[in-house]
Amino acid sequence: MEVIVDRIEEDFLVLELEDKKHINVPKILVPNAREGDIIDVNINYEKRVERERKINNLKSKLFIKQKEE
């Protein structure tokens, strides 16, 4: 999905969605954005799976440690 930075209002970006609706998002999410910029919005499934694996690994270590005590 692509969104367009329609304008900047104080600490918010006003983004135009593909269906022409507008939403406000905190500028801190895309601090270098300027009016007219096009932002690609994508979901990174690979990073999510890797993050879940790491979290599950940490949980396993925590539970094993708790059982030992």
Predicted confidence band of residue 18 (pLDDT cuts 50, 70, 90): very high
What is the residue range of 25's domain? Answer: 2-68
What's the pLDDT band for 64 if we cut at 50, 70, 90?
Answer: confident
Q: What are phi and psi of 8, to 5 degrees?
A: -120, 125
Across 44-50, average pLDDT: 97
The predicted pLDDT at position 66 comes to 65
Q: Please tell me the total count of domains within the chain.
A: 1
Buried/exposed code over 9-40 (b: 16+ C-beta within 10 A; e: otherwise): eeeebebbeeeeeeeeeebeeeeebeeeeeee
